[in-house]
Structure 1
Amino acid sequence: MAGPALAHVGVQPVGEAAKGGYATVNFKVPNERDDASTVKLEVNFPTEHPLASVAPQTVPGWKIVVTKSKLAKPIEMHGKQITEAVSKVTWTATGDGGVAPGYFQQFPLSIGQLPENADQLVFKTLQTYDNDEVVRWIDAPVEGAEPESPAPVLTLTAASEDGHGAPAGDKAGDDAKGGADHASDESAGDHASSAASSDSSDGTARGLGIAGIVIGIAGVAYGVLAGRRRTPSSTDTPAS
């Protein structure tokens, strides 16, 4: 039989279990007996940090029962008063199922809302074999020592700034904003280019207009001078 420190019921989050948030956790149950199968698992939830939302995932070959109890003091969740919370989740093997010798089984749960004022949650657990033996994993952790029958302990991590982690839409929003800024910059550049082109066209038009006026004035002056040369003077008139 493996030592208790090496093969006992444990709990691990899928990812992180942040304070004030929600998490998916797996209770890992190894079979420590060579001649019996595990047929029942009872996980007791901490009463000092009640969890109002607990949802198990279906495990083939196991019946699941979620037990709730009245709270001595109601808690608030999402603006609502919660008067009861999950106190225990029980998995019972159906038919000839169970965790056979040499195997282990994981039991997933979605839990929340996790407390903000705790660093860990202790889940006292009972493991029952088909020979009616019950192993009680209920010893709380002790600093600097390994309990003989340690209870599963879920370590909580620090909460993010928003308490629940950044939403997936934030990156999309940032990308959209960046795209809008880029489009705005391009639009401003196009506008500046159009303005420069317009100014250049206006300058060319004004230059051509001035040149036309100068040419026109020169033409009028030339016409006047030519007309004067063609007009006969009085001395040039033939005698009758």
Structure 2
Amino acid sequence: MKISHIVSACVFAAVTGTVANAHATLEVKEAEVGSYYKAVVRIGHGCDGSATKSMRVQIPEGVLSVKPMPKPGWTLETVNGAYENSYELHGRTMTEGVKEVVWTGELAAPHFDEFVFMAKLDKSLPAGEMLFFPTVQSCFEGANPWVEIPAKGQDPHELKKPAPGLMLTAPNAHSH
């Protein structure tokens, strides 16, 4: 094998290894069922050198009353839809709400940023399980679909494009 091929293979391995470890992640990876949760989705890079132009976060069933944080210089959109189930929140029955949050702007490829929203984690969500927020990072050239959800028993670290995951915990008996 030629030296140039070995060097090219090493560079490719180094680059793809770095990309595989730089995912869309949640800053706080654990929250109590029935609590309010501040989700901070972090993006660590662009798409193969291309700047990010939008972030689309899918809101899973049982996550209610979503309120996204505006970002200076970015436009903000929420996509509403029907829930699969109905939920009680502050004495009201909720049958629809925010299903996606979309930020549109520009983030240079070598920079990172955070995309934030608040939400209520319904008390019916299963403590001890992971809740996933599929996220699509669109760039001016290409995209990073952070949407893979592990199968039951599968290690999320085995996935190439894992969705940000939140471990749901039982409510604290002493919380108000």
Contact 2:23 2:44 in 1 (8 A): yes
d(CA) in 2 for partners of 1:62, 1:137: 21
- Residues 115, 73 of structure 1: alpha-carbon distance in 2 compared, 3 angstrom cutoff: same
Q: Which structure 2 residues correspond to residues 71-150 of structure 1 after superposition, within 5 A?
A: 71-93=83-105, 98-118=106-126, 119-131=129-141, 133-142=142-151, 143-144=154-155, 146-150=158-162
2:51 is equivalent to residue 42 of structure 1: no
d(CA) in 2 for partners of 1:115, 1:134: 34
Residue by residue over 1:105-124, the C-alpha shift from the partner in whole angstroms, topping out at 9 and shown as x without a partner, is 10111111344432221111
d(CA) in 1 for partners of 2:103, 2:146: 15
Contact 2:46 2:108 in 1 (8 A): no
Query: Normalised by the size of structure 1, how large is the TM-score?
Result: 0.59
Aligned length: 156
Task: State percent identity of aligned pairs.
Answer: 28
Deviation at 1:2, TM superposition (A): 4.8
Query: Normalised by the size of structure 2, how large is the TM-score?
Result: 0.78
Contact 1:125 1:152 in 2 (8 A): yes
Deviation at 1:58, TM superposition (A): 2.1
**Larger helix share, 1 or 2:** 1
- Residues 83, 117 of structure 1: alpha-carbon distance in 2 compared, 3 angstrom cutoff: closer
Aligned to 2:7: none
Q: Which amino acid aligns with 1:117?
A: L
Contact 2:24 2:164 in 1 (8 A): yes
Q: Which structure 2 residues correspond to residues 11-30 of structure 1 after superposition, within 5 A?
A: 11-13=26-28, 17-30=31-44
Aligned to 2:6: none
d(CA) in 2 for partners of 1:110, 1:2: 33
**Larger strand share, 1 or 2:** 2
d(CA) in 2 for partners of 1:12, 1:83: 29
Structure 1 runs of 4+ off > 6 angstroms?
A: none
Deviation at 1:78, TM superposition (A): 2.3
Deviation at 1:154, TM superposition (A): 1.3
Q: Which amino acid aligns with 1:100?
A: A
d(CA) in 2 for partners of 1:113, 1:35: 36
2:152 is equivalent to residue 159 of structure 1: no
Structure number, greater radius of gyration: 1
- Residues 33, 72 of structure 1: alpha-carbon distance in 2 compared, 3 angstrom cutoff: closer
Aligned to 2:79: 67
d(CA) in 1 for partners of 2:77, 2:21: 28
d(CA) in 2 for partners of 1:53, 1:62: 22
Aligned CA-pair RMSD: 2.1
Residue by residue over 1:53-108, the C-alpha shift from the partner in whole angstroms, topping out at 9 and shown as x without a partner, is 11111211211111110224322122211120211000100xxxx22122111011
Deviation at 1:36, TM superposition (A): 1.1
With a CA cutoff of 8 Å and minimum separation of 6, indicate the structure with the bigger relative contact order. 2
